[in-house]
């Protein structure tokens, strides 16, 4: 660790962060950057002025940090991800920089409330789910632990969509998060790289060597936008670089003069569509092609930028693995392997074997799914048309790789077929996960069970070939956001009793354990939970006009809507609870609010049908005068800011995916950290959470992964479970026969029939044990002292699930980097 004086001479007096200095900076930004008089400025004007004042201090840290990295000639890690769910940046930046309170006081003296303007900031629409949130947490942790790390992604002009609910159905609206500008980004018009599509490849001989040249086609310009990311409690700041697509030519004057005004700007519009929308609907051929172009676009620009920086620093290309580590966050960036090979072989004219050695030494791959159908594949015909040179390179990679396979498994043609990067059995597809494994020196799963299942099933043949290449790195969450920022009342309570070292060493929470037997501390903990529940109730009332009682048990399932997440299982329990109330059999059950939130992909019809079912059930349950104990809420447009209100208020965390389907999950960690009890299967990180908090402090139900596989082998008959369980049969019959959809009785007939005939995710098989587990939840919740004691132990024992542990494990076992910062 170095001091400021050891950095190259710059400005020895960085901007101060005291209240008076912040007032001056905010006033100056309001007048000279926003261009508004303080007497007439709107709340949004003040939001931008404060953001600019904070940004000034972040960019200083960014410059100093980069100078130090250059001076120390550090190895850098580059994180490639299609998503970064970073949320709102103002509060996070103020807390990481350590002058949140000073900014509050400065604004208060200027007649402005920081709390009021914070909510005006839009969540950055750069991600949708756990993949993007993990990427954001990793960037935060790298900066906080002084690791030289950078993020690369796409600057989407519109997010996936803004979710509305109309007549119970999900409706997608444009998520125009940039409509009011973005004070956090630095446009870099000088940082541009060409990205090529289509065309053809010309082969020629040069100095006795065969060379390839990619010609014709279309070219798009990738322009950089930088988002400095400050570390917590130190003066380091790393960088997130996002790429926006720009046309090589904005305007065709000839067409314009001829009166063809649309054609005059067509090229610009078509080019810039690439970075327009997060996850275009890929149910159509056009949407799928756009998705491929998006992935290659950001990967190509990023790899070109990495090589450009490497050369600028004076390093020879042969030193690439010594100075560069590239992490592939899932399969979306896997084409980067072929792109680096193209640049090394075609542009730097390295021999194939040397280029492959460098490429494999640079890349590592994080797998995020166990389901083969979720692993990305691309039709060979599409790849040959859109990226003809890369398809050639993938063929060559596959040729050399399969020779290695044949050498290790002589005569075994089946393993050659299974391992081939080209799937010949399903219309000739490029298996991007296979490319990622073959082209990386390390492959990691994101939970202990997930990694074991990768080795035993999904990537078993690869594991047999390269057992040392696979490692487990369990996901984590950042306590700076998900406790310190999202739950300040609990953070303050913890800090008053054990100090604030937990923000950078979450294992310090273990020191709370002796306090679980302290009645006064339990009462304070309970009061914090109550205030958080009241805050969530206010949000539900404001957005949904539904009044929910903070006295009820808050049962929370906040996830992407997907069949394997099993929101349907939760709905079946809601209906069972409802039927018991109607029949007068619910004396032992506690009042409960079941809250759902999450988005369904636009083309995922079944997931959207599940959202409608939830809302139909809610409409009946919430309006039944004979049902005083139960309410159901679907909160639309779930995002980071909404999560920061929901998570601290949760009593019960629903983690109920079919065992063997969830890679890890991080929502389970966030909820448990904030004192929610978990009801879940032995899936993903739930297993490690159970080990951490203790079997007696979690509600586990259902089959484990081995039992799921055994039932499948034996021949799963979902109708057997339907016929043998009266409550299950009644709930399904009510859904099928239109009890919750009287205006359209057949609305859910196909959904129920699918459960009775296929039930791919074994909802019916786990139903009875799920209901039993909920009965145990009710029994415990009737004893508030016992419940709170267990909830506190969940918080105290979540230290292992810090993202800082995750990132340091990557740094030591995968990337080969160490902390380099200044203090």
Q: What is the pLDDT of residue 261?
A: 45
Nearest Cα to Cα of residue 394 among 420, 373, 376: 420
Residue 251: pLDDT over 60 = no
Q: For residues 622 and 547, what is the distance between their CA atoms, to the nearest angstrom?
A: 10
Q: What is the DSSP letter of 606?
A: H
Confidence tier at 253 by pLDDT (50, 70, 90): low
pLDDT band for position 7 (cuts 50, 70, 90): very low
Average pLDDT estimate for 218-234: 94
Q: What is the phi/psi pair of residue 444, to 5°?
A: -125, 145
**What mean pLDDT do residues 625-630 have?**
94
Which band of pLDDT confidence, cut at 50, 70 and 90, is reported for residue 246? very high
**Listed residue (226, 279, 235) closest to 89, CA to CA:** 226
Residues 630-673 have pLDDT tens digits of: 999 999 999 999 999 999 999 999 999 999 999 999 999 999 99
pLDDT of residue 496: 97
The sign of the torsion formed by the CA atoms of 776, 777, 780, 783 equals negative
Integer CA distances (angstroms), 457 to 463, 509, 760, in order: 10, 36, 18
pLDDT, mean of residues 462-475: 98
**Choosing from 522, 565, 612, 690, which is the catalytic residue?**
565
Integer-rounded Cα radius of gyration of the chain: 27
> What is the distance between the alpha carbons of residues 216 and 202, in angstroms, rounded to a whole number?
10
Q: With 60 as the cut, is the pLDDT of residue 577 above it?
A: yes
Question: Is residue 323 within 8 Å of residue 315, measured between CB atoms?
Answer: yes
State the pLDDT at residue 160.
82
| H or E element in which residue 339 lies | helix 335-342
H-type alpha helices, 426-566: 432-438, 448-453, 460-465, 479, 488-498, 519-544
Q: Is the pLDDT of residue 265 over 80?
A: no
CA distances from 53 to 228, 451, 452, 606, 723 (A): 14, 44, 48, 47, 65
Q: Is 729 a catalytic residue?
A: no
User: Which pLDDT does position 232 carry in this prediction?
Assistant: 95
The region of weakest confidence among 319-333, 467-481, 576-590, 669-683 is: 576-590
The mean pLDDT value for 77-82 works out to 98
Residue 208 pLDDT greater than 90, yes or no: no
How far apart are the C-alpha atoms of 676 and 793, rounded to whole Å? 10
When pLDDT is averaged across residues 421-435 and rounded to a whole number, the result is 95
Looking at residue 18, the DSSP 8-state letter turns out to be: S
**pTM of the predicted model as reported, rounded to 2 decimal places:** 0.95
Partners of residue 426 on adjacent β-strands: none
Higher-confidence residue of 174 and 701: namely 701
Q: Which residue has the higher pLDDT, 454 or 130?
A: 454
Rounded Cα distance between 380 and 107, Å, is 58
The pLDDT score that the predictor gives to residue 313 is 97
Bridge pairing between strands 422-423 and 149-154: unpaired
User: Residue 698: is its pLDDT beyond 50?
Assistant: yes
Query: Which of 16-20, 40-44, 399-403 has the weakest average pLDDT?
Result: 16-20
With beta carbons less than 8 A apart as the criterion, state whether 53 and 102 touch: no
- 206 phi/psi in degrees, rounded to 5: -145, 115
Dump pLDDT digits (tens) for 708-725. 999 999 999 999 999 999
**Which residues, 6+ apart, have CB-to-CB distance to 692 below 8 Å?**
797, 798, 800, 801
List all residues 6 or more positions away from 11 whose beta carbon is below 8 Å from its beta carbon: 60
| Residue-level pLDDT at 373 | 75
Q: What is the mean pLDDT of the chain?
A: 94
Q: How many whole angstroms separate alpha carbon 182 and alpha carbon 179?
A: 8
Please give the pLDDT value at position 268. 66
| Angle between helices 388-408 and 352-362 in degrees, nearest 10 | 90
Which of these is catalytic: 368, 389, 434, 747?
368
- Distance linking the first and last C-alpha atoms of the chain: 7
State yes or no: pLDDT of 11 exceeds 80.
no
| Residue 394 clears pLDDT 70, i.e. is over it | yes
The catalytic position among 560, 580, 747, 797 is 560
- Specify whether 565 is catalytic: yes
pLDDT, greater one: 292 or 279: 292
Cα–Cα distances in Å, from 114 out to 46, 89, 383?
A: 9, 13, 50
Q: Residue 742 above 70 pLDDT?
A: yes
pLDDT at 224: 98
Q: Choose among 768, 764, 673, 662: nearest CA to 722.
A: 764
Q: How many CB atoms lie within 10 A of CB 43?
A: 13
Catalytic annotation, pick one of 480, 670, 747, 805? 670
pLDDT of residue 4: 42
More confident residue, 393 or 287: 393
790 classed as catalytic: no
**128: pLDDT strictly greater than 70:** yes
The pLDDT > 70 percentage for the chain reads 96
Q: In this structure, what are the phi and psi dihedrals at residue 220, rounded to the nearest 5 degrees?
A: -120, 145
pLDDT of residue 209: 85
């Amino acid at each position: 660790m170095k001091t400021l004086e050891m950095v190259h001479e710059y400005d020895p007096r960085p901007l101060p962060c005291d209240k008076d200095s912040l007032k001056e900076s905010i006033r100056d930004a309001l007048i000279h950057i926003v261009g508004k008089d303080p007497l007439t400025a709107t709340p949004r004007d003040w939001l931008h002025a404060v953001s600019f004042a904070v940004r000034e201090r972040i960019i200083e840290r960014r410059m100093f940090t980069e100078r130090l990295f250059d001076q120390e000639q550090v190895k850098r890690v580059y994180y490639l991800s299609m998503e970064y769910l970073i949320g709102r940046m103002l509060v996070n930046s103020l807390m990481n920089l350590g002058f949140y309170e000073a900014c509050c006081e400065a604004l208060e003296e200027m007649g402005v409330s920081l709390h009021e303007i914070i909510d005006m900031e839009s969540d950055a629409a750069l991600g949708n789910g756990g993949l993007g949130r993990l990427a954001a947490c990793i960037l935060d942790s790298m900066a906080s632990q002084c690791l030289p790390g950078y993020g690369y992604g796409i600057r989407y002009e519109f997010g996936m969509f803004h979710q509305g609910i109309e007549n119970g159905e999900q409706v997608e609206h444009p998520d125009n998060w940039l409509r009011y500008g973005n004070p956090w980004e630095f446009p870099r018009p000088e940082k541009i790289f060409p990205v090529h599509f289509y065309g053809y490849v010309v082969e020629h001989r040069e100095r006795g060597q065969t060379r390839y040249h990619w010609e014709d086609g279309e070219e798009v310009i990738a322009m950089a936008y930088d988002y400095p990311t400050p570390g917590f409690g130190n003066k380091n700041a790393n960088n997130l670089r996002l790429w926006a697509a720009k046309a090589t030519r904005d305007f065709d004057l000839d067409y314009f003069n001829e009166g063809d005004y649309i054609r005059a700007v067509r090229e610009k519009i078509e080019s810039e569509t690439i970075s327009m929308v997060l996850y275009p609907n890929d149910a159509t051929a056009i949407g799928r092609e756009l998705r491929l172009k998006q992935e290659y676009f950001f990967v190509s620009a990023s790899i070109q930028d990495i090589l450009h920086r490497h050369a600028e620093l004076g390093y020879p290309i042969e030193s690439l693995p010594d100075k560069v580590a590239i992490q592939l966050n899932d399969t979306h960036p896997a084409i980067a392997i072929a792109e680096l090979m193209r640049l090394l072989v075609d542009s730097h004219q390295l021999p194939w074997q040397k280029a492959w050695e460098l490429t494999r030494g640079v890349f590592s791959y994080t797998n995020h799914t166990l389901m083969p159908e979720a692993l990305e594949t691309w039709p060979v015909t599409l790849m040959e048309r859109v990226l003809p040179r890369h398809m050639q390179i993938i063929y060559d990679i596959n040729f050399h790789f399969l020779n290695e396979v044949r050498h290790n498994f002589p005569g075994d043609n089946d393993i050659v077929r299974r391992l081939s990067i080209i799937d010949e059995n399903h219309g000739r597809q490029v298996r991007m996960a296979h490319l990622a494994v073959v082209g990386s020196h390390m492959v990691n799963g994101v939970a202990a069970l997930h990694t074991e299942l990768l080795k035993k099933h999904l990537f078993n043949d690869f594991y047999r070939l390269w057992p040392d290449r696979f490692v487990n790195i369990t996901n984590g969450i950042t306590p700076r956001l998900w406790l310190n920022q999202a739950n300040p009342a609990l953070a303050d309570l913890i800090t008053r009793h054990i100090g604030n070292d937990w923000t950078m060493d979450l294992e310090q929470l273990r020191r709370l354990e002796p306090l679980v037997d302290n009645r006064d501390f339990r009462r304070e903990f309970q009061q914090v939970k109550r205030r958080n529940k009241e805050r969530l109730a206010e949000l539900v009332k404001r957005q949904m006009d539904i009044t929910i009682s903070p006295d009820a048990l808050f049962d929370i399932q906040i996830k992407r809507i997907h069949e394997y997440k099993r929101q349907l299982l939760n709905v079946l329990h809601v209906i069972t609870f409802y039927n018991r109330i109607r029949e007068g059999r619910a004396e032992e059950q506690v009042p409960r609010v079941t809250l759902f939130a999450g988005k369904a992909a636009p083309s995922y019809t079944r997931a959207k049908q599940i959202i409608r079912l939830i809302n139909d059930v809610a409409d009946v349950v919430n309006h039944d005068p004979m049902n005083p104990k139960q309410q159901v809420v679907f909160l639309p447009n779930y995002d980071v800011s909404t999560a920061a209100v929901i998570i601290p208020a949760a009593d019960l965390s629903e983690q109920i995916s079919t065992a063997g389907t969830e890679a890890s999950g991080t929502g389970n960690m966030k909820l448990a950290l904030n004192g929610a009890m978990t009801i879940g299967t032995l899936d993903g990180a739930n297993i490690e959470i159970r080990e951490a908090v203790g079997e007696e402090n979690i509600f586990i139900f259902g089959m484990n992964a081995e039992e799921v596989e055994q039932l499948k082998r034996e021949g799963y008959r979902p109708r057997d479970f339907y016929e043998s369980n009266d409550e299950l049969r009644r709930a399904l019959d009510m859904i099928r026969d239109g009890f919750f959809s009287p205006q359209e009785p057949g609305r859910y007939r196909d959904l129920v029939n699918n459960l009775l005939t296929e039930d791919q995710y074994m909802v019916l098989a786990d139903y009875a044990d799920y209901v039993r587990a909920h009965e145990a939840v009710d029994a415990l919740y009737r004893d508030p002292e016992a419940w709170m004691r267990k909830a506190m132990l969940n918080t105290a024992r979540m230290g292992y699930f810090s993202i800082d542990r995750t990132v340091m494990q990557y740094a030591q076992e995968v990337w080969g980097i160490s902390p380099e910062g200044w203090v």
